Structure 1
């Protein structure tokens, strides 16, 4: 294939990907949406947990209050990195999870 054509196709693909990603300003900032972006990979789509990854969070508020959950989000746990969610988003998710009893 012609080298110019390959470069052109790569460039167009790059532009399309960037356009699809946007700048993030239109992202849903609800705690559910934040958790969908940040937590479901390990805790599952319904926060029910995944074997060998993240524990069930469906009743986490019965075990921890908002401040304790926020501390876990900030400090991490074995197998969970620190600051996966930051700032106001972490506050929102901690409050939302604290309501799950």
Structure 2
């Protein structure tokens, strides 16, 4: 939650401090992103990549996770980890809910 609020505050500050149309457009897009996508980009993208396809053999391809796994399974993996994935990467309940919801949309 703290990361989300800090990101949102940064977007507001940057959009208020600039008259550059391109920066304003980027800020608008960032503020309209699904909260779960924001959490993913802050927490998961390093291993699973921007395209959700994973990096190397240790990070699972998540691009079709919503059609392959249940929300309960996804939540359990995020909370408890697996062989190569650490547990408790997302500790804020609202961020976790948003991340699971967004991942379920990936089909």
TM above 0.5, one fold? yes
Distance 1:71 1:55 in 2: 15
**Which 5+ residue runs of structure 1 have no aligned equivalent?**
1-22
The residue aligned with 2:95 is: 89
The residue aligned with 1:18 is: none
The residue aligned with 1:20 is: none
Whose helix proportion is higher, 1 or 2?
2
**What is the count of residue pairs matched by the alignment?**
79
1:77 is the counterpart of 2:77: no
> Cα RMSD between the aligned structures?
1.8
Tell me the SS of whatever aligns to 2:56. coil
Distance 1:100 1:72 in 2: 16
TM-score, structure 1 normalization: 0.70
Matches within 5 A, 1:7-86: 24=3, 25-28=5-8, 30-86=35-91
Higher CA-based Rg: 1
Question: For the Cα contact (< 8 Å) 1:61–1:98, is it kept in 2?
Answer: yes
Tell me the SS of whatever aligns to 2:60. coil
Instruction: Tell me how far 1:57 sits from its aligned partner.
Output: 0.4
Distance 1:39 1:75 in 2: 15
Question: For the Cα contact (< 8 Å) 1:43–1:53, is it kept in 2?
Answer: no
